[in-house]
Structure 1
């Protein structure tokens, strides 16, 4: 195998058994050598967390992806920890690209810091590696499943499309992660648009507790989008209203983009 072949690390937050992961692996295979390493367990909603109870055990798995048998690695940890362990213990050298996805369900608006899909991508970016996070819009009942009824083909097309560009383009200033949201109705011909991340909440939580505060509870979510309140250049508007692929550049620098000297003067009471 040529030493110049691009090295791609593929991960997710839905776990090693996710068909979305397999679809991405098959799509990326023509672009380089793909190392598949994903959480051993379902880890949606983990953000970029590094839970102390994770055991870090790496277990090789033989999986059939398309017509090929792949050796993939199940890792005992969060998506971010999976990326860390893969880079430190599995890869021959730092990968040229890390791809996280294809996620069961969209990751848009103010909730993206909750996403394990984005957490894995930001972990990669913290190592100085270009990162791509891809999610597919789905009915809410399928978010935490490994349903084989979901068609990932169009999302796989856009995964390879943007992965190829990240592999071949020079780094873009202040772009550490490229976030791609694919509508449920998308085809490879669906237009795409570069967007900003919406500041609006997209998933609204509902506490489900039956027997008082000391009883167990979980949280369900409903999606609420008011077209008149959502920024027209945002990921939410592009995905939900325009039904187009939303491509959002994200930065590790979460500093507010206001003039820092003006804020300092205001905080010192001199404004």
Structure 2
């Protein structure tokens, strides 16, 4: 089983190598990750400048690793289309430092990398731990290995995209596993304006979001110290507003088709 491991926290991130150590128990590992942190870039790819790959030796026998001068999506694409000669059986992105829940998945570089595998029909998993400091990576790495084993044994359908969030607890304190839906939360974006004497510039940051805590959502699971596994697809169609859209389309049609 050949596994591509990637992330958005960068090639030297602790979570990446915790993941590699577990996954190498079930497959052949190739690592392709950004050469620096790339959190929050989503599925961005580099179209207007070259992307460079540098081989990295982490001293782990049998593991090829590349630092990519680009985004998480660049890292996955370059590996899948060029750096890895044989077919890849699984893409695992992470382990992210910090949760990726709710609408985070639309801006997450961790998910952006995993999506590149999913787009190509490869089972893909995004792994995150719900903490920014003093992170327990081991439980998430073990969960990733168990899911990879299920892929190897063909107990998970393909193509498949999973978003996995793990509470920041030692394994013995985790209270279970839930299959969840994406949560819903409201953000408060904070804009700080500065001036260096030549030109204004801005910092964009986010305050702690407000969550809707409904049973069955990813945040509901994490708050209860349970692992959240959210099966995803890329169909963004909103069928609930189709009647309203139909009315608007009729008006557009009347206006342009005299």
TM-score (norm 2): 0.86
Partners of 1:266 and 1:186 in 2: how far apart? 54
**Where does residue 236 of structure 1 map in the other structure?**
219
The residue correspondences of 1:59-98 to structure 2 (distance < 5 A) are: 59-65=54-60, 68=61, 70-98=63-91
Q: Identify which of 154, 175, 179 aligns with 1:169.
A: 154
Query: CA shift at 1:189, angstroms?
Result: 6.4
**Where does residue 232 of structure 2 map in the other structure?**
250
Q: Give unmatched runs, 5+ long, in structure 1.
A: 1-5, 143-148
Partners of 2:250 and 2:17 in 1: how far apart? 56
The residue correspondences of 1:174-253 to structure 2 (distance < 5 A) are: 176-187=160-171, 190=174, 191-201=176-186, 204-211=188-195, 215-226=200-211, 229-239=212-222, 241-253=223-235
SS at structure 1 position matched to 2:51: coil
SS at structure 2 position matched to 1:223: coil
Query: CA shift at 1:167, angstroms?
Result: 2.9
Farther off after superposition, 51-60 or 153-162: 51-60
Partners of 2:240 and 2:157 in 1: how far apart? 21
Alpha-carbon distance change, 73 to 188 in structure 1, aligned in 2, over 3 angstroms: farther
SS at structure 2 position matched to 1:56: coil
SS at structure 2 position matched to 1:150: coil
Q: Give unmatched runs, 5+ long, in structure 2.
A: 252-258
Partners of 1:54 and 1:132 in 2: how far apart? 28
Partners of 1:96 and 1:70 in 2: how far apart? 16
Farther off after superposition, 73-82 or 184-193: 184-193
SS at structure 1 position matched to 2:59: strand
Query: CA shift at 1:109, angstroms?
Result: 1.2
Partners of 1:26 and 1:234 in 2: how far apart? 30
**Where does residue 103 of structure 1 map in the other structure?**
96
Partners of 1:21 and 1:33 in 2: how far apart? 15
SS at structure 2 position matched to 1:180: strand
Query: CA shift at 1:64, angstroms?
Result: 3.4
Tell me if the contact between 2:135 and 2:168 (Cα under 8 Å) persists in the aligned partners: no
Considering only CA atoms, is the larger Rg found in Structure 1 or Structure 2?
2
Partners of 2:244 and 2:155 in 1: how far apart? 34
SS at structure 1 position matched to 2:205: strand
Query: CA shift at 1:123, angstroms?
Result: 1.3
**Where does residue 51 of structure 1 map in the other structure?**
46
Tell me if the contact between 1:158 and 1:188 (Cα under 8 Å) persists in the aligned partners: no
Query: CA shift at 1:107, angstroms?
Result: 0.4
TM-score (norm 1): 0.82
**Where does residue 105 of structure 2 map in the other structure?**
112
Query: CA shift at 1:268, angstroms?
Result: 4.6
SS at structure 2 position matched to 1:193: strand
Question: What's the RMSD between the two structures over aligned residues?
Answer: 2.5
Query: CA shift at 1:216, angstroms?
Result: 1.9
